[in-house]
Structure 1
Amino acid sequence: MAATLHFGDIEVHRIVEQEAPIFDVLSFFPTLSPEVLDANRDWLQPRFIDARDRLVLCVQSYILRTPHHTILVDTCVGNHKPRPSRPFWHMLDSPQYEANLAAAGFSVDDIDYVMCTHLHTDHTGWNTRLRDGRWVPTFPRARYLFAERELAFWTERQAQDPESCPSVTDSVLPVVAAGQAEIVRSDHALDDLVALIPTPGHTIDHYSVKVGRGHADAIITGDMVHSPLQARMPDLGMMSDYDSAMAGRTRRALFGTYCDTPTVFCTAHFPQPSSGRVVRRGDAFDFVLD
């Protein structure tokens, strides 16, 4: 696991659940052509794609320890969750996530807030765990921050077709039922050190999390970006986007604001070390890993 990052008096820790080649890159990015992929192989392989053209992805959370709060951003896939459409995440039963949480010096009782950048399967799984055959919140003291339009979209979809979004059933609605959900706007400010940034497109009301201030700050991206290829090609959409054109505009705007600055982007899915800075590259950008 990478060393702890420091932004002023804020600590940022990575809690990794898994890192592996998972999706075929041309399926993951449906508009990416084999020719463009070939033109980028020299820097993509072997770190970001493997020899079989599978995208190497990390699934992880970030813990922010500020002078005021301990905050968990996104909660990975989770154990015992039925995910038949994703065999590599179906009914996981692994000690790794909880072991890495403990290795970083945290227990489930330490978390004050859980921030779900969006409500996809691989970002909500550890929201809950099985206890006596019921799904209950994993973090008993935490308030879980859900963006209002995001939660409304997924709860409506779950009501119409529960099988289409099992993660809402087992990882979101039990948190709401337990009274631990806090429904906020995607530009909500928690305090002077932590604020949400609207980054829609991948989902309807996706947010990222800005941490710190001045020249000691970071952005926890969530799924605003999945691969450094989307820095060089900001308009490149991925297979699960709600609106790929909107997601592309979001990337261009956010990268354009913070490129060539000290701001560190802590990504959800880049392989370790997963964090770096964005620099201008012609009419697009480059992601420079730490």
Structure 2
Amino acid sequence: MALVTQVGDVKVMLVRETLQPVPAEGMYVEPDMGVFEANADWLRPYFLDDEGNMPLSIHALVLESEGQTIMVDTCIGNRPIEMVPQMSHLGEGFLDELAAAGFEPGDIDIVLCTHLHFDHVGWNTILVDGEWVPTFPNARYLFNRTEYEYWDSGAEGAAITFGDAVRPVLDAGLADLVDSDHQVTGEISLEPSPGHSPGHVSVRISSAGHEAVITGDLVHHPVQFSAPEWVMTADDDPARASETRKAFRERYADSGILIFGTHFAGPSCGHLSNADGRWIFTVKS
């Protein structure tokens, strides 16, 4: 069943596809394991397990705003993933979870992808009679223009399913290429957060005096609030990604803004604080 959080008048539902432990060395380039030890008091139990691995969640966030049902990112999907074989052929469990949350594919009005890496676009399409077709037939799909054009040019990286999970949506006439500050509804807007990919965006929610932000992959795990310089293996521009993380934590720490981590385990959301130079992410109870 989806986890539900209210942000003003906006309902946010987390629909999870997978949750699995990942070693830090498998995600980051030469991570300092001492950072985990120094922050174990707040990383446990959601973000650090007993074996020292990081639980990594693949999930979508479904927002209800002003009569629109908006899906932020669409996970991996049911397809072969040559780069990560263990994430191949996951079946249709995600669609089952979506249905359990009360949504059929035809109920989604907007699909919003923070970027176009394979684990954020997978359920954009499904295979029907040997052809990849849009999963959400009544939706407009929003792709950042810079992001789309970069991968469409043939750039190499983690957008390995671009040809079957992104381009077919354009071919079907269901996609809009938008700017990094695009206003989705009166309560939902995009916020540029490049580095992990060229046109990466985060998502801001502002409703009835309440504020929240969905990170996308500017940060994969809350330990990066303490170590923003850590390079994630799929970062397109590591230096820019690090600067984006530093700017993000300065902007949102101690602000009261609710932060939803796109790959955070557990409830996925909480608040960031700076206690005399020690960055702490506290899960929302």
The alignment's TM-score, normalised by the length of structure 2, stands at: 0.93
Matched, 1:101 2:95: no
Match of residue 233 from structure 2: 239
Aligned-partner Cα distance in 2 for 1:206–1:14: 20
Match of residue 137 from structure 1: 134
Matched, 1:110 2:116: no
Aligned-partner Cα distance in 1 for 2:196–2:275: 23
Matched, 1:18 2:18: yes
Give, in angstroms, the shift of residue 44 of structure 1.
3.8
Q: Would the aligned equivalents of 2:9 and 2:208 in 1 still touch at CA under 8 Å?
A: no
Matched, 1:72 2:71: yes
Q: Would the aligned equivalents of 1:276 and 1:287 in 2 still touch at CA under 8 Å?
A: yes
Deviations 1:238-279 (A, max 9, x none): 111011221121122122122212211111111111100111
- Structure number with greater CO (CA < 8 Å, separation at least 6) is 2
Q: Would the aligned equivalents of 1:26 and 1:33 in 2 still touch at CA under 8 Å?
A: no
Aligned-partner Cα distance in 1 for 2:275–2:185: 34
Q: Would the aligned equivalents of 2:57 and 2:264 in 1 still touch at CA under 8 Å?
A: yes
Aligned-partner Cα distance in 2 for 1:58–1:192: 29
Deviations 1:66-87 (A, max 9, x none): 12311000000001x1112202
Map 1:215-254; keep pairs closer than 5 Å.
215-254=209-248
**RMSD across aligned positions (CA):** 2.0
The one-letter code of the counterpart of 2:46 is: R
Paired residue secondary structure (1:166): coil
Aligned-partner Cα distance in 2 for 1:248–1:110: 37
The one-letter code of the counterpart of 2:11 is: E
Deviations 1:57-114 (A, max 9, x none): 01000000012311000000001x1112202211222x32111111111111111110
Q: Would the aligned equivalents of 1:26 and 1:34 in 2 still touch at CA under 8 Å?
A: no
Give, in angstroms, the shift of residue 55 of structure 1.
2.2
Give, in angstroms, the shift of residue 42 of structure 1.
5.2
Aligned-partner Cα distance in 1 for 2:128–2:16: 23
Q: Would the aligned equivalents of 1:74 and 1:114 in 2 still touch at CA under 8 Å?
A: yes
Map 1:131-280; keep pairs closer than 5 Å.
131-157=128-154, 165-213=159-207, 215-280=209-274
The one-letter code of the counterpart of 1:86 is: V
The one-letter code of the counterpart of 2:81 is: R
Identity %: 39
Moved more, 214-223 or 241-250: 214-223
Runs of 4+ off more than 6 Å: none
Instruction: Structure 1: state its 5+ residue gaps.
Output: none
Instruction: Structure 2: state its 5+ residue gaps.
Output: none
Match of residue 57 from structure 1: 56
The alignment's TM-score, normalised by the length of structure 1, stands at: 0.91
Q: Would the aligned equivalents of 1:2 and 1:273 in 2 still touch at CA under 8 Å?
A: no
Paired residue secondary structure (1:27): helix
Q: Would the aligned equivalents of 1:231 and 1:284 in 2 still touch at CA under 8 Å?
A: no
